[in-house]
Structure 1
Amino acid sequence: MNRLFGLLPKPSPLRPESRVYDLKERLDWGEPALTIIDVRDRAEFNQSHITGAISMPTDSLLATAANCFEVTRDLYIYSNTDDEATAVADRLRGAGFSRVAIVRGGVAAWKAAGFPVETVITPVAEPPVH
C-alpha cells in the first residue's frame, strides 16, 4: 500500500462526464481501479493515446467489454468527439455497465493539460537484401 494515501485527498468520485484533471487525479492517487478505453480506430490510437489506455474500437466494444470487465468496473471512455464518447458510454450503460464516464476532450484535452501520452511504433519492414 502506498504510504502517500494518508497525505493525498481521496479523488473525486466517478461522474458521467469527467475532466482530464479528474482522471489524472485518480491515476496519481495510486489506487485507480479503473480502465481507460480509447474507442477511436487503431491507427489513431497508435499515433497518440492517453497513457495506460487500451484500444477498443466502437465496432467490437460491447462484445469485448462483456468478456473483459465486471459491470461495476470504473470505465473512462474517450473518442474524437465528446458526442461519440457519449454514444458509446450510453451503449455500455444499456448493456448493464453501471460505472461509465466520458473523458471530456479526449486525448487532445489530455495533451493540452500536459499529461503523458503514448504512441505505438510499428516496425517498417526492410526490403530483402540480395
Structure 2
Amino acid sequence: MSHSSAVMSAPAADPAAAVAHFAARLSFETDVSDVAADLAAATPGLVVVDSRSRESWDQGHVQGAVHLPTAEIAARAATTVPADAMVVTYCWGPGCNGATRAALEFARLGYRVKEMIGGFEYWAREGFPVETASGVTRHQVDALTAPTSGIACAC
C-alpha cells in the first residue's frame, strides 16, 4: 500500500528562496518571549503598543505597554510614540488581526514596526507579567506554550 505524503505533495522552496522568506518573516514579526526579554532588559527605543479597546486594556495588558487603539494611531502616534522607536504591536491573539492592522497604521506613518505573534493570549499563557488596575500578576505557565520550569524555551 503506497502512502501519499501531504507534506511532500508540493516541493519545498529552494534554499535561497527559503532564506529570503524566513528572513522577511522575522523582519515583520516577533514573539512574546523575545518581547518579554527586551522589556525586562529595558531595551532602548522599544515601544510595545496594545491596539485593543479600553475595556480590553483594563482587563489586562502587557506590563510596560502603551495603550493606543488602532483607530487612534493616525491621530495620536506622533505625540505618544517617538518617531525613531521600534514599535511592536499586539492585540488579543492568533485569531485576531488587530495587531496587523495596527502595524499597518504605524508603517503608513513611517515607523519601524513588528507584530507580536501570539498576542496578549500567549503573553498571559506563557506567564509573563500582566498589568491591571489592581496591579501586576502572572498566570500559571501553560505547558502547551512554554516550559513550566520558567526557563526560556531557547528556540
For the criterion TM > 0.5, the same-fold answer is yes
Aligned equivalents of 1:26, 1:72: Cα separation in 2: 17
RMSD, matched Cα: 1.8
Letter in 1 for 2:34: D
Q: Computing the radius of gyration over CA atoms, which structure comes out larger, 1 or 2?
A: 2
Correspondence 1:11-26 to 2 at 5 A: 15-26=27-38
- Which of 18, 23, 29 aligns to 2:41? It is 29
Change (3 A) 1:91 1:24: same
Alignment of 1:56 onto 2:68: yes
Provide the residue aligned with 1:67 in structure 2.
79
TM-score (norm 2): 0.63
1:112 has 2:125 as partner: yes
1:106 is displaced (CA, Å) by: 1.2
Q: Secondary structure at the match of 1:59?
A: helix
Q: Does structure 1 residue 83 correspond to structure 2 residue 109?
A: no
Q: Indicate the SS of the match to 1:15.
A: helix
Cα distance in 2 between the residues matched to 1:72 and 1:106? 23
Give the superposition deviation at 1:24. 1.1
Alignment match, 1:3: none
Q: Which runs of 5+ in 2 are unaligned?
A: 1-25, 135-155
Give the counterpart letter for 1:83 in structure 2. Answer: N
Answering whether residue 52 of structure 2 is matched by residue 40 of structure 1, we say yes
How many equivalent pairs are there? 107
Distance in 1 between residues matched to 2:87 and 2:70, nearest whole Å: 14
Structure 1 unaligned spans of 5+: 1-13, 122-130
Query: Structure 1-normalised TM-score?
Result: 0.73
* Local SS of the residue matching 1:115: coil
Q: Which residue of 2 aligns with 1:126?
A: none
Give % identity. 33
Q: Displacement of 1:86 after TM fit?
A: 1.0
Structure 2 Cα separation of the partners of residues 16 and 39 of structure 1: 17
Shift of 1:36: 1.1
Deviation at 1:120, TM superposition (A): 2.1
**For 2:126 and 2:27, how far apart are their aligned partners in 1?**
19
